[in-house]
Chains A and B, each alone.
Chain A
Amino acid sequence: MTDAVATRLKKRHAAEARFRLYGRMAIVVALSFLVLLLGRIGLQGYSTFTTNTVSLPVYLDPARIDRADLEGSNYDYVVALSLLKMMGETEDEFGTASDDAMELVSRDLGFQILDQIKANPALIGKTITVTGPVKADADLYYKGELKRSTDEADRKLNDRQLAWLDRIKTSGAVTSGFNVAFFTNADSTEPEQAGILGAVIGSAMMLLVTALIAVPMGVMAAVWLEEFAPKNRWTDLIEVNINNLAAVPSIVYGLLGLAVFVNGFGAPRGAALTGGMVLALMALPTVIIATRSALKAVPPSIREAAWGVGASRTQTVFHHVLPQAMPGVMTGTILSLAHALGETAPLLMIGMIAFNPGLPESFTSSASVLPVQVFIWETASERAFHERTAAAIIVLLVFMIAMNAAAVILRRRFERRW
Chain B
Amino acid sequence: MVALMTVQPPLIRTAAPHSHHPVNLDAPKIVVRDVSVFYGAKQALDSVSIDVPGKAVTAFIGPSGCGKSTFLRCINRMNDTIPGCRVEGAVEIDGEDVNARSVDPVILRAKVGMVFQKPNPFPKSIFENVAYGPRIHGLASGKSELEGIVEASLKKAGLWAEVSDRLNAPGTSLSGGQQQRLVIARAIAVSPEVILMDEPCSALDPIATARIEELIDELRQQYCIVIVTHSMAQAARVSQRTAFFHMGRLIEAGSTEEIFTNPRESRTQDYITGRIG
Asked if B183 lies at the interface with its beta carbon under 8 angstroms from chain A, I say yes
Asked if A319 lies at the interface with its beta carbon under 8 angstroms from chain B, I say yes
> B117 CB to closest chain A CB, in angstroms?
9
Interface bits B91-124 vs A (CB < 8 Å: 1, else 0) = 0000000000000001111100111101011111
Q: Which residues of A contact B170 (CB under 8 A)?
A: 418
Asked if B59 lies at the interface with its beta carbon under 8 angstroms from chain A, I say no
Chain A interface residue count, Cβ-Cβ cutoff 8 angstroms? 21
Contacting residue for A315 out of B115, B118, B136, CB 8 A: B136
Asked if A291 lies at the interface with its beta carbon under 8 angstroms from chain B, I say no
Interface bits B112-156 vs A (CB < 8 Å: 1, else 0) = 011110101111100000001100110000000000000000000
| Contact residues, A308-341 vs B (CB, 8 A) | 308-312, 315, 319-320, 324
Asked if A217 lies at the interface with its beta carbon under 8 angstroms from chain B, I say no
Q: Give Cα A299–Cα B172 distance, bound, in whole angstroms.
A: 14
Known: A305-B116, A319-B132. A310 touches B123 (CB 8 A): no
> Is B172 within 8 A of A418, CB to CB?
yes
Interface bits A385-410 vs B (CB < 8 Å: 1, else 0) = 00000000000000000000000000
Asked if A307 lies at the interface with its beta carbon under 8 angstroms from chain B, I say yes
> Is A305 within 8 A of B121, CB to CB?
yes
Question: Which of A301, A324, A418: most chain B Cβ within 10 A?
Answer: A418
Asked if B81 lies at the interface with its beta carbon under 8 angstroms from chain A, I say yes
Asked if B187 lies at the interface with its beta carbon under 8 angstroms from chain A, I say yes
- State the main secondary structure of chain A at its contact with B: helix
CB nearest to B78 among chain A residues = A307
Chain B interface residue count, Cβ-Cβ cutoff 8 angstroms? 30
Q: Give Cα A304–Cα B76 distance, bound, in whole angstroms.
A: 12
Asked if B238 lies at the interface with its beta carbon under 8 angstroms from chain A, I say no
Contacting residue for B106 out of A231, A311, A319, CB 8 A: A311
Known: A304-B78, A418-B123, A418-B170. A309 touches B113 (CB 8 A): yes
Question: Which of B116, B123, B187, B190: most chain A Cβ within 10 A?
Answer: B123
> A392 CB to closest chain B CB, in angstroms?
44
> A153 CB to closest chain B CB, in angstroms?
74
Q: Give Cα A263–Cα B75 distance, bound, in whole angstroms.
A: 58
Asked if A266 lies at the interface with its beta carbon under 8 angstroms from chain B, I say no
Contacting residue for A310 out of B110, B118, B172, CB 8 A: B110
Contacting residue for A311 out of B76, B136, B187, CB 8 A: B136
Q: A309-B136, A310-B106 provided; 8 other pairs, C-beta below 8 A?
A: A301-B116, A304-B114, A305-B122, A308-B76, A308-B114, A310-B107, A310-B108, A310-B109
Q: List 27 A-B contacts (CB under 8 A).
A: A301-B120, A302-B120, A304-B81, A304-B114, A304-B120, A305-B120, A305-B122, A305-B183, A306-B122, A306-B132, A307-B81, A308-B76, A308-B78, A308-B116, A309-B109, A309-B113, A309-B132, A309-B136, A309-B186, A310-B108, A310-B110, A310-B136, A310-B190, A311-B106, A319-B132, A320-B122, A418-B124
